[in-house]
Structure formats: structure tokens, C-alpha cells
């Protein structure tokens, strides 16, 4: 029988398979390394893109915050200006009111009554005067109560002064100064 030694052939096949396995292993490692590198690059690129967007949003937020602050300051200035304008308009509108008060006082004073003192504190007007009789003081109070520029006449005191005349007396009266609305003023003037 002839003896054939198959051992070297098997050994060669084993060596060949080992080389093939190592080649495939190196190829897989290269592919995996390349895949990992690409994945890391993609993630880094996404992170950089997000950081860029975050910086842009932060810059925009800072810009908007600055605009909000400017708007608040402008609103504050606008409110102050409107308040000043309202005060100026009120002063312009009330400028001639003192003339109306004196005019109404002279229109409503009946004969036999004269004033010795007229004082105004805020909207309260205090009048001191002399009257020939108590009926004339009553007429003065009625007239002042009907005036659109005065309200709530309140007689504080009446002191008899016979040396000024038979039924003469010195009186002290308080009343409120009011401002008639435009339609009432138009009716009283027109």
C-alpha cells in the first residue's frame, strides 16, 4: 500500500485559512474603525452645528433683551411726557377759571352784601363779609348753590354788628370751588 502524507496539505490549508481569517479580521477592524471615525465626525459636526445655533440664539436673545429694555425706557419716557402734557393741558384749561370764579361771585352777590376777605385753599373758598340782614346772606347762599362754579355753601358764623346798621352782621362762609363740565358751561355762557 502506498503511504500518502496528508499532513502538510492540511497544515498548508490551515495556514491559508488563518491568513484569510486574519485578512478578514484586519478588514473588519479597518471598516469598523472607519465607521467609528465617520460616526465620531458626524456627532462632532452635529455638536458644532448645535453650538453655533445656540450662540446665534444667545446673541438674538441678548439683542431682544436690549430692545425690550429700550422699549420699557421709551414707554416710561412716553408716560412721563403724557403726564407733563396732561398737566400743561390742565393748566391751560384752568387758566381762566379764576376769572370765572370772580365773575360768578360778583353776579351772585345780592345788594346789601359785600366781602371783606376771600381766600382759596385748594378747592375750598372761605369768604368773610358784611350783610345788611340775614335774608341777604340766605339769598347769597342760594345764588352760590345754583352756580355751576360753586357747591356746598356752608355758613360758619354770623355775628351781629349794630354799629354797621340795624340788622347788619359779619358772616363767615365756606364753599367748594367746582369746575363745570363743558355742556353746563356752554349753557351758562350761551
How does pLDDT run across 159-184, given as a tens digit for each residue? 888 777 778 889 999 988 887 765 44
Gap between the Cα atoms of 128 and 171, Å rounded: 6
Report field, pTM of the whole predicted structure over 0.75: no
Please list, in sequence order, all residues whose beta carbon lies within 8 angstroms of the beta carbon of residue 146, skipping any fewer than 6 positions away. 108
Helices 134-146, 97-108: axis angle to 10 degrees equals 140
Q: How far apart are CA 27 and CA 22, in angstroms?
A: 8
Q: Give pLDDT tens digits for 71-85.
A: 999 999 999 999 999
- The CA-atom distances, in angstroms, between 157 and each of 1, 139, 162, 172 are 162, 16, 16, 5
Average pLDDT, the chain: 86
Segment 29-44, tens digit of pLDDT: 999 999 999 999 999 9
Contacts of residue 145, Cβ cutoff 8 Å, sequence gap at least 6:
151, 152, 153
For residue 2, pLDDT beyond 60:
yes
Cell numbers 503511504 label which residue? 3
The answer to whether 140 and 128 are in contact (CB under 8 A) is no
The continuous run of DSSP H or E covering 47 comes out as helix 7-94
Q: State phi, psi for 147 to the nearest 5 degrees.
A: -75, 140
Amino acid at each position: 500500500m502506498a503511504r500518502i502524507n496528508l499532513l502538510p496539505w492540511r497544515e498548508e490549508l490551515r495556514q491559508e485559512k488563518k491568513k484569510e481569517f486574519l485578512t478578514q479580521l484586519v478588514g473588519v477592524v479597518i471598516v469598523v474603525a472607519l465607521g467609528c471615525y465617520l460616526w465620531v465626525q458626524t456627532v462632532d459636526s452635529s455638536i458644532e452645528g448645535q453650538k453655533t445655533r445656540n450662540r446665534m440664539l444667545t446673541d438674538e436673545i441678548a439683542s431682544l433683551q436690549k430692545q425690550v429694555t429700550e422699549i420699557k425706557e421709551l414707554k416710561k419716557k412716553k408716560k412721563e411726557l403724557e403726564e407733563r402734557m396732561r398737566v400743561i393741558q390742565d393748566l391751560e384749561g384752568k387758566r381762566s377759571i379764576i376769572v370765572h370764579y370772580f365773575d360768578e361771585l360778583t353776579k351772585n352777590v345780592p345788594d346789601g352784601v359785600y366781602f371783606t376777605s376771600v381766600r382759596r385753599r385748594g378747592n375750598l373758598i372761605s369768604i368773610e363779609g358784611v350783610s345788611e340782614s340775614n335774608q341777604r346772606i340766605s339769598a347769597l347762599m342760594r345764588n352760590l348753590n345754583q352756580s355751576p362754579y360753586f357747591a356746598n355753601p356752608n355758613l360758619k358764623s354770623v355775628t351781629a354788628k349794630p354799629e354797621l346798621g340795624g340788622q347788619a352782621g359779619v358772616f363767615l362762609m365756606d364753599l367748594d370751588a367746582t369746575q363745570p363740565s363743558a355742556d353746563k358751561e356752554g349753557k351758562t355762557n350761551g
